[in-house]
Amino acid sequence: MSKKEILDQALLLKTEERFLIIEGLIQSIDEPDKRLDDIWTEEAEKRLKAYREGKLEGIPMEEIFKE
């Protein structure tokens, strides 16, 4: 079955059924990547350490959202 045929068949479904297909497809490509989680954890720990040692200055939340 071609991609166009699959799409044509999907468009014949009820709205709720199409939503379930869309949700399933999005979940299939949006799986967490443990390596990225590890990289971000390491970066966050480095930044926190630098902040606590006075090597990194914080920015008030109000100032961040003001822009």
Do 15 and 37 lie in one domain? The reply is no
Do 14 and 37 lie in one domain? The reply is no
Do 40 and 27 lie in one domain? The reply is no
Q: Give pLDDT, residue 11.
A: 95
Is residue 18 a contact partner of residue 25, using CB atoms and an 8 Å limit? no
Q: Give pLDDT, residue 29.
A: 86
The parent domain of residue 16 ranges over 1-31
- Using the structure block, give the residue that is written with the tokens 């390491």: 42
- Rounded-to-integer distance, Cα 53 and Cα 63, Å: 23
Q: Give pLDDT, residue 32.
A: 79
Q: Quick one: CA dihedral 23, 25, 30, 33, positive or negative?
A: positive
Give the number of domains in the chain. 2
pLDDT tens sequence for the chain (67 residues): 899 999 999 999 999 999 999 999 998 887 778 898 899 999 999 999 999 999 999 888 898 888 6
Do 25 and 45 lie in one domain? The reply is no
Do 15 and 3 lie in one domain? The reply is yes
Do 26 and 37 lie in one domain? The reply is no
pTM for this predicted structure: 0.48
